Structure 1
Amino acid sequence: MKVYAISDLHLGVPGNRQALAELPFYPEDWLIVAGDVGETTTHLHYALSILTARFARVIWTPGNHDLWTIPSSGEKALAGEEKYQDLVAICRSYNVATPEDPYPVWPANNGSTVLAPLFLLYDYSFRPAHVPMEQAVAWAEESGVVCNDEFILHPTPYSSRSEWCRVRTAYTEKRLASLPPTSSIVLINHFPLRQEFARVKNIPRFSLWCGTTRTENWHTRFPVSVVVYGHVHVRATDYRDGVRFEEVSLGYKQNWRQEKGVRAYLREILPGPQAPGNETETQWYR
């Protein structure tokens, strides 16, 4: 029995939809889906109908694309918290675990391993120290970078995405703190938990929309063994303080090799590899 992970399926891309349909069966294994399934609930239904038939259990957390409100999609124009709760309800209809459910316990390791899907968003704190918060988006725009979230990811009923992020991180901190200290936690988030992993070299100011510094020390603050994330479309394995960080995105057509199929991009999270001797070395995946 294994736990695999993937994120950023981006099923608005026709080739990605076809590739997902060709994924083989893993009847004894679990799958983590770490956000950005697509832009519509139709994409989510499509993904879950396939993945829940292929895997013994599926665990989901949302990405920013999943939360977009696109009036031209023909779907209900839900926004913000209401949109998120609608996605949660869809997942529950497929018996898929969400950040609002009890954290699943992996039956191996005497049941000590907890898989914790998180929904945290971002707060524009992944920026240089000299850039004031109130000028952060304008700073990014100077380089021609503005995330679509600014227009179609609405924070309703919160005043901003930053406030929504603050509420979500506070809620999640309490849940994680309530877990037994003997637990081995797998943290699952769409966005990287540390600023150093916001690897957006071609568009560096896009880092604003990549996470929050509130989570920088969560891998040591809580008894964490693995952190799973996506969003940046730069697949890699890193180790920090004995904790394994896995970026598991598939991405757009230019981000992966279609001839390899989606199967080649499933990352084994549990049991997973042994830590290398040099924990500062990054393993990249193409």
Structure 2
Amino acid sequence: MRLFALSDIHVDYPDNARWVDALSSEDYRDDTLILAGDLTEDRHLLAWCLQRFVAKFRQVLFVPGNHDLWVRRDPDIDCSLRKFDQVLTIAADAGAWMQPRFHRDTLVVPLLGWYDYSFGSPCDDLRVMWMDYRACRWPDDYGPERVTEHFLQMNPDGLPHAASRVVTFSHFLPRIDLIPFFVPRAMRRLDPVLGSSGIERQLRALGSDLHVYGHSHINRRVVIDGVVYVNNAFGYPQEGMIAARALLALDNELR
């Protein structure tokens, strides 16, 4: 029984979808997969993707990312909160879990989130270029800070069961220092929309030993104050130089 992590698979791209479809249907039947968000904005593709992974793994745990809540191509959905409710139903119907589950004696805990500008204030250029500002729709009184709080409040405030180890995962970054020093200054304008320090507070309160995150498309492993942070993004087809484009086994981190 192995534990794998993957995020940002973006099966809207045919090459990425083909990779999912071609993944062995035999090699992972006893294993657990963490999917840390950004599968697709398309509800039908989301169902297909989750169903394919569930057919290949013993259990699949999932949290949606920002792309999964886009509604720009959903004329029948006027709110990303309603899209989230549909994502919940799609995941449950596919057999994927969005609740804590055991992997052997390790408890794996999904953490919902968004970004609340705790990593910085957005500049005017970011407000123009960042697709979420146009592709997501929220109630009139919901800014990013309230969206983040809405999702953080849905996360567990304690462990439902005693566990030898705890693995948490989120799509969004729990701390801004997970972005490595070599990222160009021009790209740091994205910092405000990368995550929330509220996720960090929650994973620490849960006693997490390892946290999987996505969203940045920068694969990394780093230890900070006793917690191992891991990003294993599949990424866009053109990102082969910065994304591993493979499953990542976490078992050695848990020994």
TM, length-normalised to structure 1: 0.79
For residues 232 and 145 of structure 1, the distance between their equivalents in structure 2, rounded to whole angstroms, comes to: 19
SS at match of 1:246: strand
Comparing 178-187 and 83-92, the one that deviates more: 178-187
Q: 1:104 aligns with which of 101, 104, 125?
A: 101
For residues 11 and 222 of structure 1, the distance between their equivalents in structure 2, rounded to whole angstroms, comes to: 32
The CA RMSD over aligned residues, in Å, is: 2.5
For residues 105 and 148 of structure 1, the distance between their equivalents in structure 2, rounded to whole angstroms, comes to: 36
1:223 aligned residue? 207
Does residue 118 in structure 1 map to residue 111 in structure 2? yes
1:255 to partner: Cα distance: 1.5
For residues 252 and 91 of structure 1, the distance between their equivalents in structure 2, rounded to whole angstroms, comes to: 23
SS at match of 1:171: coil
For residues 159 and 17 of structure 2, the distance between their equivalents in structure 1, rounded to whole angstroms, comes to: 39
1:121 to partner: Cα distance: 0.7
Does residue 33 in structure 1 map to residue 35 in structure 2? yes
1:151 to partner: Cα distance: 0.9
Question: In the alignment, is the contact (CA less than 8 A) between 1:81 and 1:157 conserved in 2?
Answer: no
Structure 2: segments with no counterpart, 5+ residues: none
For residues 273 and 86 of structure 1, the distance between their equivalents in structure 2, rounded to whole angstroms, comes to: 34
For residues 206 and 21 of structure 1, the distance between their equivalents in structure 2, rounded to whole angstroms, comes to: 32
For residues 158 and 227 of structure 1, the distance between their equivalents in structure 2, rounded to whole angstroms, comes to: 31
Does residue 254 in structure 1 map to residue 251 in structure 2? no
Equivalent pairs counted in the alignment come to: 249
Does residue 168 in structure 1 map to residue 127 in structure 2? no
Does residue 187 in structure 1 map to residue 145 in structure 2? no
Structure 1: segments with no counterpart, 5+ residues: 128-135, 276-286
Distance 1:55 1:203, change over 3 A: same
State percent identity of aligned pairs: 24
From the CA coordinates, give the structure whose radius of gyration is larger.
Answer: 1
For residues 50 and 78 of structure 2, the distance between their equivalents in structure 1, rounded to whole angstroms, comes to: 20
1:81-118 CA distance string (max 9 Å, x none): 111010010110012101xx4x1122x23xxx211111
1:140-181 CA distance string (max 9 Å, x none): 51x786310011112237522210211222332xx2325457
For residues 82 and 62 of structure 1, the distance between their equivalents in structure 2, rounded to whole angstroms, comes to: 13
For residues 59 and 78 of structure 2, the distance between their equivalents in structure 1, rounded to whole angstroms, comes to: 28
Question: In the alignment, is the contact (CA less than 8 A) between 2:8 and 2:36 conserved in 1?
Answer: yes
Question: In the alignment, is the contact (CA less than 8 A) between 2:157 and 2:202 conserved in 1?
Answer: no
1:159 aligned residue? 142
2:188 aligned residue? 204
For residues 124 and 59 of structure 2, the distance between their equivalents in structure 1, rounded to whole angstroms, comes to: 40
1:274 to partner: Cα distance: 6.7
1:212 to partner: Cα distance: 1.0
